[in-house]
Each structure stands twice: as C-alpha cells, then as structure tokens.
Structure 1
Amino acid sequence: MPSSGNINRTLFELDLLRAMVMVADCGSFTTAAARLHSTQSTISQKIRRLEAIAGHPLLIRGNRDVHPTDAGQTLLGIARQMLSLNDQMREALAGATVAVTVRLGVPEDFVNARTSELLGRFNRRHPQVKLEVTSGLSRDLAAAYDHGELDLVLVKQRRNSRQGVACWPEPMRWVDSARTPCIGLDPVPLVTFPPRGLYRDELIAAVEGMGRRWRISFTSSSLSGIQGAVADGMGISLLPARAMTREHRALTARQGLPPIDSIEIAMLHRSNAEPLVLELASQFMRLLQRERR
C-alpha cells in the first residue's frame, strides 16, 4: 500500500465511493453486493481500487463484519456528501426545462395594461420562456428585426410600405393641449418625432395644405415626451388615437385638418419562426382585432 505522500491523483469515482458507503453501512461485502445488484468479488475489487487511489486501508475486514479505518471514516463523511450532491444534480437536471427566449419589439404606445396582461398570460402558460421586450420607434424596431435581434415585432408604417404577416389600419388623431391650445397661433408650433420619424411628414404636409405657416417647436424620439409637450401647450401633433390622454384635445376638420388614414400597424416574424413565437403572434393578432371592433 503506498504512503499518504504518494496519493494517486486519479479522481475519486462515484461508483467506488457508493460501494464503500454501502459496505460500511451493511458491515458486509455480501449484503452490500446484493443491494447494489452486483457480486461480492466485484465489490471487493472496487474497494481495493478505492484504497489504491486513497493511499490508505479504508476497511478492517473481520471474521464476521467489516469496519472502516480512521481514514475510512474520513472518506465516508465526504463520500456521502459527494453522493448526495450527485443525486441533487441528477434530480435538478431531470426536472429542468431548457429556457427559451422570445424577443419582442413593440412601439411605445403598445406598452400598456392590455399588452402587459397578454404577456402575463403567455408567461403563466409557458413559465420556461424568458420574454425580452423592446419598445421604441418603429424604424429602430424594424432595423433590429432585420439584423436578427428580434423575433417578433409590431411596427407603425405607411400603408403597404412593407409586407407583414398581418396589417391593421391605425386610427390617427390631431392633438392639441386641452389647457393651452396652440392651433390658433401663427406660425403654428409643431411637436414632432425626429426627421424620418413616422407622422412627421404627414403633420407638416397637412399644415402646409391649410395654407398655414408653421415652425418646429419641440422634437423628441420618446412618445411620452411628445405627449407631455402637447399637453403643456408647446404645439400640436399627430398621434395614434390610443396615445391620446385627458390632457389632450382632438382637432378635427373644423380646424381645417384632414383625416389621416395612411398609417398601419404591421406584424413581422420569420416564416420559420419557433412555435412559441407563432403563438405569441396569434395572441397579438386577436388583441388588435378586438381593438378594431
């Protein structure tokens, strides 16, 4: 038997440790072999291999029973922990479900109670799914989708500018401040999204069509920023009907503003999308169809 200073660096195999624990618990090679569905000679071989690795005798073999040595007692305490951890690992992995991530992009005005309720129901049905939701300008969401960064997106666009899985007309409203209206000012102050932002061209074209002078008074890439600026009397704007608040007043043809029916909501996902993406897309379709009624 080699000395403790020359302990073999081979890893302790769990199968050998299990044999050691069973022999110690049973006090017998014969009984341990029966419980492990093995033979006495095989169990004896495993104990000898374990002793060779440990560099110490681990069991005292008596005429009637078997007892662990001091080194055996030390090994048994750690062996039981290792076997227990192995069992925990096996159980955890047996019940584990591979996490799936669904990356969703929606315009800011879709971040509301209805959307949260929809996503909550989806998450309860699929607790293994991790939802990553991005909100922002439609042009940014479309670009992220084109770069493969999103799986499912809803975007605002001019009608028929891009083919989507499904499209819905988006009702638009001219909005002014309820407290300090600006429509009568000359030039008319306009609150807009940045250049190339949706609604901006429609807004400017409509005011020019009225023969009115105009100026850009406030620009923001944030929907909440646009909503707040209009409410505070910084100018008029063009927004989805869903984005109007109690602090806004709707402007109509009485003020000379034309109806805008050129905007739509488009849903985009890939033809080979995962079933969970398709299920979430179907739920958003039903939500938008209900809102259209």
Structure 2
Amino acid sequence: MLDPRLLRSFVGIIDAQSFTAAADRLSMTQSTISQQLARLEEQVGSALVDRTARPIVATAAGERLLGYARRILALQQEAQAALGDPAGTAPLRIGVPEDLVNAAMAATFRDFSRRHREIHLDVTDGLSRDLTQRYRSGEFDIVIVKEAAAGPDCRASFPEPMAWFESLDAPRAWPDPVPLVTFPPGGLYRDAMFERLERERLRWYNAFSGSSLHNVLIAVEAGIGLSLLPRNAVAGYRVRLHARFPAEAPIVVSIYAREREGIVGELVELLQAVLERRQASPERGARRATTAKRIAPRR
C-alpha cells in the first residue's frame, strides 16, 4: 500500500518543480522530502522525477503515478473530513406502529434531524406487543404503542377509536361462518376481534392474515372479510363501517421513553404534539367511512 505521506511529498515536488520549494510548502526540511521521495521510488521500483531537469519534472513512471496520487490524497482528505463531522453518529432508536408514521410524524423527524445533525433516527415499525417487549428489553429509546390500557410509566396516552370495517362492495349478508381479515398472531386487534365474535356467539374463520395495515385494508377493500381497525386509519380505502357491531371499546396510544430530559425528552414532546393534533383532527377517512345496513350472517 502506498503511504499517503510519501505521495504528498511526491506531488508537492512536481507541483513546486523544486525540492526546496516543496519542502517549504510542506513545512519539511529538504533532506526529509528527498528521503520520502526515495522511499516511494523504492516501493514502486522506478524513478519518479528527473533530478537533473530544471525545473524538476516527472519521469514517464511519475506521470503515470501522479493522477493516482492526487486521487488517493483527495480521498484521504475527504475521509478525514467525514470522520471529523459528527453528523449521524449518535443513534436514537424509536419503535412505532406502522399506521402512526404519517406525513406529520415524518415532518417532525425531518425538522428534528435538521436541528440535531449528530442524531441518526433509527425508526422501526411493527406490532405493538412486539414493540413493547423490545422496549422493555432495552432495544428502543422511545416507543409508541397501542394497548388496552396505558402503563404507569407512559409519558402520554391518547384514546384510539376502533370500529369494524367491510368493503363498500360487501355482501348484504355475510356467510356463516363469518370470514375475518386479521393481523398475525400477537396482534392487539386480532384478539379483540375473536373475543367480540365469541361474545356475539357467531361462528367465524380467519380468511386472510396480513403483516401490515395496508395489506389488511386491501383485503378488506377486496371483500375478503371483516376486520377491526382504528377509525383513523382507513383514509383512501373503499371501506365502510359494519353496523352489526356499532360499539367497540377504544384502545390507547401510549408514548414511553427512557429519558425525560435532553434530546430524547425533546423528541418525545414533539411526538406527543403530533399525536395530540391527530386526536384533535381525525383522518378524513374516519369521517368518510359510511355505515352499512344492519346485517347478520346467515345461519
């Protein structure tokens, strides 16, 4: 590997066209710069400058090396500058349910990143129960989760209205057993769906499972089955409220954080404001969703 210090002496000599002038520019003695050039010539196995010429010029081998030497030195300077810049060197780990990562939250992350260039926001989406477990095990600095009731150590919590949805093209009477569209096992909505249907003494089966909210809503929109979903999450989908189950207990959206002050505390306050605005101004989809006629599955 070519030593950048030796390359710098070589380039300096060619640019200054003199050993003496190059030594002055690089704050070296003429003896030192001559020794460094000699070491480089020994490494490459060729003379790199014509010492008899006045002014000093590169040999044919030196001309071939010169371009590479300049690029190596430029890359070295670029690497040193990058390592000297703290931007993105301090990770801040955040867990959040998929449907809460909206434009307002993205804008908050953007503004926060611009104010704190040293922070690298590492955002993970997933099911709330999994996010909670990972937060408790120390994987996240901040987590936003949906749960039946807020824990005593939450920073803030907000009610999340829930409702049953079906396709705008859903049949006038669902078959018996009722087809369901669910999240994978462990999903909060999934268990609540099963409990409600058991209370209603209705037979059901799992017709479709989706790992993301979008996949679940697409399946509902296509008419595969019913699903219990946040009322604020259906904007832009061709779904309507299913009137057989008009009342469903809300869950809560809770924020947890390991620190109350500093950078973490600042971001928690900003995320809390996003959720407060979301609570005050529900998504248009919740207002646009229409109520289906009261229907019952065929027995």
Query: TM-score, normalising length from structure 2?
Result: 0.67
Residue 22 (structure 1) shift: 4.5
Q: Which amino acid aligns with 2:259?
A: S
Please say if 1:213 is aligned against 2:186: no
CA distance in 1, matches of 2:184, 2:20: 83
Corresponding position of 2:160: 170
Corresponding position of 2:240: 249
Q: Which amino acid aligns with 1:106?
A: V
Aligned length: 274
Please say if 1:75 is aligned against 2:62: yes
Please say if 1:282 is aligned against 2:269: yes
- Shift of the 13–168 alpha-carbon distance from structure 1 to 2, 3 Å rule, reads same
- 1:180 partner SS: coil
Residue 92 (structure 1) shift: 4.4
Please say if 1:136 is aligned against 2:136: no
CA distance in 1, matches of 2:253, 2:43: 69
Q: Which amino acid aligns with 1:74?
A: A
CA distance in 1, matches of 2:234, 2:11: 72
Residue 107 (structure 1) shift: 1.8
* Structure 2 residue corresponding to 1:224, chosen from 211, 214, 217: 214
**Partners of 1:193 and 1:200 within 8 A in 2:** yes
Corresponding position of 1:260: 249
Gaps of 5+ in 1: 1-10
Residue 187 (structure 1) shift: 6.0
- 1:260 partner SS: coil
Gaps of 5+ in 2: 281-299
**Partners of 1:173 and 1:238 within 8 A in 2:** yes
Residue deviations 1:106-134 (CA, integer Å, cap 9, x gap): 22322444444444545555677655543
- 1:289 partner SS: helix
* Structure 2 residue corresponding to 1:108, chosen from 98, 115, 121: 98
CA distance in 1, matches of 2:209, 2:68: 60
Residue 154 (structure 1) shift: 1.8
Residue deviations 1:71-128 (CA, integer Å, cap 9, x gap): x552365256425521442144325535345444322322444444444545555677
Corresponding position of 2:285: none
**Partners of 2:163 and 2:246 within 8 A in 1:** no
Q: How do 1:174-185 and structure 2 match up within 5 A?
A: 174-180=164-170
- 1:283 partner SS: helix
